[in-house]
Amino acid sequence: MAEALTLNLDSGGAATQSSERAPRPAVRHITTLAVENMHCGGCIRSVERALTGLPDVVSARANLSQRRVSIETRHPAATEEPYVAALASAGFKAAPLADVRPDAAKVDDADLIRRLGVAGFAAANIMLMSVAVWSGQAQDMPASLITLFHWLSAMIAIPAVAYAGRPFFVSAKGALSAGRLNMDVPISLGVLLATGMSLYQTARGLDHVYFDAAVTLLFFLLIGRALDQRMRSRATAAAQNLLGARVAAATLINADGTAERIATRAIEPGMRILVAAGERIPVDAHLRAGESEIDESLITGESRPRHIRGDDRLYAGTINLSGAIEVEAAAREDGSLIAEIARLMATAEQGRSRYVRLADRAAALYAPAVHVLGLATFLTWMARGNGWEPALEAAIAVLIITCPCALALAVPVTQVVAAGRLFRKGILVKAADGLERLAAIDTIVLDKTGTLTLGEPRLSAAETIPDDRLELAASLAVASRHPYARAIVRAAEQRGLRIAPAADVTESAGAGLTAVVTGRELRLGSARHCGLKAGEGDSATLWLRDGDRAPLAFPLADPLRRDAHAVIEALKAQGLAVEVLSGDRAEPVAEAARAVGIATWRAGVRPDEKIARIETLKREGRHPLMVGDGLNDAPALAAGHASLSPSTAADISQTTADAIFQGEALSPVLETLAVARATQRRSIENFAIAIGYNVFFVPLAMLGLLTPLIAAIAMSASSIVVTANALRVALVRHQETPS
């Protein structure tokens, strides 16, 4: 295992060097299940407890955002049935990932929206018939008309409660059948008791009817549940997106020299594979014939292609840029570096999923307290000689007044307001608990290529190159997939030049392009390719030779983001530690770190070593934010306490990150952290509002001074106050940086 180079620049710019060897994770047997009805921190503990009691299970880690659980066993599992059965006995519905529909999250979103719509429609109609009763006009109505209104309300409320309340009823039933409590138990109890009591009162012709309270309660609760579900559905299985970097089929070269297409999963070590220019390497392999350049930015983050020859090692998912090559498979598809990164990511994601959200911590204490208060109210009223009807009415009022509408809205509505604010700034928040984790950040770990820099070579000092020379170079470059060639074409397009592709362009691997135009030879490529002597040309520069004319240099560079230095200074001014962790070569990493004012950096770091560094920071009690864009950053993004990724990142990194930012500026990092902290403050304030409301109204309900209807109105008012407070997140300001 190679050592990772660690360099620390002191204030004088001198470099000190050390090395750190990161342990490679041991091979483990992991089974992952989708768990349908996990809703809170208590569910996480119940799921893990149900599985760790099984023989051969070493550990179980539940991921609330993705509703999954990873089970580590001593031996490979022959079937998932024992785990599914254990979870079923604990009240959870589980299934192997292969049996889960890929669009299940969208279906859940749509289902909650439909139920929310039904509850809102029913509540509005029942309220219309209740206005007369509330306003005191019922005294002038015939008793038969009042009874008719109550029965009409019942006809609307009962099917609405049955349909809209189903998510809460099913969850509560599962919890009770497993001998545990969750937030949905008091909700279901309050709604069912209010509906049942109202139906009983209607049948007896009495006035204490609270259908509107029961349905309105469901309406507000479903708002919170729908908002929370929408945030959760953005979190997807990141490792599954690695399939996009894999190759479905490859060209096998048989012993007799014939070629045939086979599935990548059928490739065995030792097989000879033909990889054409522009294709991805299907599996980890060794070069056996040919010469080319390989784009390894997906793996290393390095934007500069690597010239390969001889017995060079190649990795699955990297792109062959130049000529056709013949490679020998060194591993099967599931033994490739991409597969290893997927396993590292899965492990890192499960570690981060143990973070318990603020709402879940509140729920763990809140649900038992509600039951105790409701039961105490009922028993106290019965002990004082009151009948069961007033005792039950008082208990229902307590259950409704303590129903966690405000608590259920406290975090989701704040997060949705924050997500909307960030979306307007070009930042997409994906993880349900991402903003909470971002608010706790005290250390920033940055990748270099694609994060501090733009991640693509660009023509520097373009204004010094005449239009006709740039147009001529672009006519050759348009025939190549090389990143440097694409940079030339992009510069010509930005200048508005007409690009006419040259005919019969040939490409020499590691050298450049050649064509004959109007009888003169044109060359675009390395200094040697264009006739310059060794040492005359910069390795990061293309040259254009037009016949006998002197070669013209086209300097190329991967520029820093325009505000990188200002953003780094602003982060350090906030007391945050900042460092660079890159898979690139030491020289460009050192140059970039020095340019933006970062003293601590590491170069040549592999994915498992990035995770090791993140875990070291965590053991020191720090909360690192990982900002990266490459496939090699994906495991570290999953391992970080929180993570950000630019929109130009690899698909897998975008999927893994808590948030994605657009544009060529780095200032979205500042914006995201500022909004996350404001979101945390508003969430805590919302909990204080909800708790204060309960402290004031619960004693009144226990004393019988509040009817269930007044309790429902008070509950609705607290939800409105919480929502209004959450809207303040949209007004937060942060330190601006010059563009």
DSSP secondary structure letters along 667-706: THHHHHHHHHHHHHHHHHHHHHHHHHHHHHHHHHHHTT-S
Question: Does the structure show a pLDDT above 70 at 294?
Answer: yes
Provide the pLDDT confidence category of residue 365 given band limits of 50, 70 and 90. Answer: low
Answer yes or no: are the C-beta atoms of 668 and 358 closer than 8 Å: no
The pair phi, psi for residue 621, each rounded to 5°, is 85, 15
Class of domain 244-336: mainly beta
584-600 pLDDT, tens digit per residue, is 888 888 999 999 999 99
Other Cβ atoms less than 10 A from the Cβ of 311: the count is: 9
Higher pLDDT: 334 or 359? It is 334
User: What's the chain's length in residues?
Assistant: 739
Other Cβ atoms less than 10 A from the Cβ of 163: the count is: 14
Which one of 447, 546, 608, 629 is the catalytic residue? Answer: 447
Q: For CA atoms 687, 690, 696, 698, give the dihedral sign.
A: negative
Provide the pLDDT confidence category of residue 577 given band limits of 50, 70 and 90. Answer: very high
Higher pLDDT: 232 or 130? It is 130
Q: What's the pLDDT score for residue 358?
A: 56
Q: Is 447 a catalytic residue?
A: yes
As a whole number, mean pLDDT of residues 380-386 equals 82
In CATH terms, 458-557 corresponds, of 3.20.20.105, 3.10.20.30, 3.40.1110.10, 1.10.357.10, to 3.40.1110.10
Output the average pLDDT for the chain.
76
Q: What's the pLDDT score for residue 634?
A: 77
103-133 pLDDT, tens digit per residue, is 455 566 788 888 988 988 988 888 777 665 5
239-268 pLDDT, tens digit per residue, is 344 444 456 778 888 888 888 888 887 888
191-215 pLDDT, tens digit per residue, is 887 788 788 878 877 666 778 777 8
667-692 pLDDT, tens digit per residue, is 999 999 999 999 888 888 888 887 78
DSSP state of 335: G
Provide the pLDDT confidence category of residue 424 given band limits of 50, 70 and 90. Answer: confident
Domain 423-455+561-679, classified CATH 3.30.230.10, yes or no = no
Q: Which CATH architecture does the domain made up of 102-233 adopt? A: Up-down Bundle (1.20)
Question: Does the structure show a pLDDT above 50 at 514?
Answer: yes
Higher pLDDT: 362 or 142? It is 142
Token code pair at residue 339:
């597969």
The pair phi, psi for residue 626, each rounded to 5°, is -95, 130
Q: Would you tell me the crossing angle of helices 184-203 and 358-383 to the nearest 10 degrees?
A: 40
Q: What percent of the chain has pLDDT over 70?
A: 74
Question: Does the structure show a pLDDT above 50 at 13?
Answer: no
Q: What percent of the chain has pLDDT over 90?
A: 10
Higher pLDDT: 229 or 736? It is 229
Nearest one of 607, 604, 602 to 636, comparing CA atoms: 607
186-196 pLDDT, tens digit per residue, is 778 778 877 88
As a whole number, mean pLDDT of residues 60-71 equals 71
Q: What SS3 class is residue 19?
A: strand
Higher pLDDT: 203 or 76? It is 203
Question: Does the structure show a pLDDT above 50 at 409?
Answer: yes
As a whole number, mean pLDDT of residues 16-24 equals 36
Provide the pLDDT confidence category of residue 430 given band limits of 50, 70 and 90. Answer: confident
Q: What's the pLDDT score for residue 150?
A: 81
Q: What's the pLDDT score for residue 593?
A: 92
Higher pLDDT: 351 or 513? It is 513
List the domain boundaries for the chain. 29-99, 102-233, 244-336, 357-422+680-732, 423-455+561-679, 458-557
Domain 29-99, classified CATH 3.30.70.100, yes or no = yes
Higher pLDDT: 602 or 720? It is 602
Q: For CA atoms 677, 681, 682, 684, give the dihedral sign.
A: positive
Question: Does the structure show a pLDDT above 50 at 99?
Answer: no
449-499 pLDDT, tens digit per residue, is 888 888 888 888 777 888 889 989 999 888 887 888 888 988 888 888 888
Cα(396)–Cα(414) distance, integer angstroms: 29
Q: What's the pLDDT score for residue 508?
A: 80
Q: What's the pLDDT score for residue 20?
A: 37
DSSP state of 355: P
The pair phi, psi for residue 558, each rounded to 5°, is -95, 95
Question: Does the structure show a pLDDT above 90 at 625?
Answer: yes
Question: Does the structure show a pLDDT above 90 at 572?
Answer: yes
Cα(58)–Cα(25) distance, integer angstroms: 15
Nearest one of 600, 578, 571 to 444, comparing CA atoms: 578
